[in-house]
């Protein structure tokens, strides 16, 4: 089967049919994260229990019926979605992130298990991606779990010399059907 490639020419005007649906694939997207001032560590979280991760910034939200309040995401429109997560840790031994459907009590994205030595330090992010379908308005939380308290840097250690915002925890949702 031959690939359906479109040749793009610099300076030429593109017609919608040439984009093969690319524009539609990016219209229904929402990205939320925790943004803190430069030099602000990720904080000390709660040890050995699933805990809601702070999401305080809307990077983009073009999904009709999607909203955020108190770090809880609501998807009000039935459909199929893809979600991607990234949850950082520092010096907490075993750790993991997930996206939890709090309406139905199920996990929709389970991040990879990771390990950051509590004595020697080291950082790691639990990342994951999955698709899921909802039939009605549903709420979600980005959550984390770690084994050993790592102090004020348990949820990420800042790069203070960079002088730009720190990003702790990222959730990207795309409506795909």
Helix H, strand E, coil C: the string for 26-41 is HHCEEEEEEEECCCCC
Residues 19-175, CATH architecture: Sandwich (2.60)
Tally of CA atoms within 13 A in the half-sphere of 162 that contains its CB: 11
Phi/psi region, residue 109 (left: phi>0; alpha: psi -120 to 50; beta: rest), is beta
Q: How far apart are CA 113 and CA 141, in angstroms?
A: 18
State pLDDT tens for residues 144-159.
Answer: 999 998 889 999 999 8
| Spatial CA neighbour of 177 closest among 134, 121, 142, 120 | 134
Mean pLDDT (whole number) for 99-123: 95
Q: What is the pLDDT of residues 41-99, one digit of tens each?
A: 999 999 999 999 999 999 999 999 999 999 999 999 999 999 999 999 999 999 999 99
Please write the tens of the pLDDT for every residue from 5-49: 455 566 666 555 555 444 455 579 999 999 999 999 999 999 999
**Quick one: pLDDT at residue 17?**
53
Q: Where are the domains of the chain?
A: 19-175
What's the pLDDT at 147? 94
Closest CA to 153 of 35, 40, 34: 40
pLDDT for 78: 97
**What pTM value is reported for the model?**
0.84
């Amino acid at each position: 089967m031959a690939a359906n490639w479109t040749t793009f020419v610099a300076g030429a005007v593109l017609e919608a049919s040439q984009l093969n649906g690319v524009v539609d694939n990016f219209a229904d997207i929402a990205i939320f994260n925790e943004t803190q001032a430069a030099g602000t560590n990720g904080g000390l979280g709660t040890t050995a229990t699933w805990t809601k991760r702070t999401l305080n910034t809307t990077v983009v939200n073009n999904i009709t019926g999607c909203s955020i309040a108190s770090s809880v995401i609501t998807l009000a429109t039935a459909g199929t979605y893809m979600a991607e997560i990234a949850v950082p840790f520092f010096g907490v031994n075993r750790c993991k992130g997930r996206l939890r459907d709090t309406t139905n009590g199920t996990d929709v994205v389970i991040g990879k298990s990771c390990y950051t030595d509590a004595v020697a330090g080291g950082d790691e992010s639990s990342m994951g991606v999955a698709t899921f379908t909802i039939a009605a308005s549903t709420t979600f939380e980005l959550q984390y779990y770690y084994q050993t308290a790592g102090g004020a840097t348990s949820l990420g250690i800042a790069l203070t010399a960079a002088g730009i915002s720190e990003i702790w925890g990222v959730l990207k949702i795309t409506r795909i059907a």
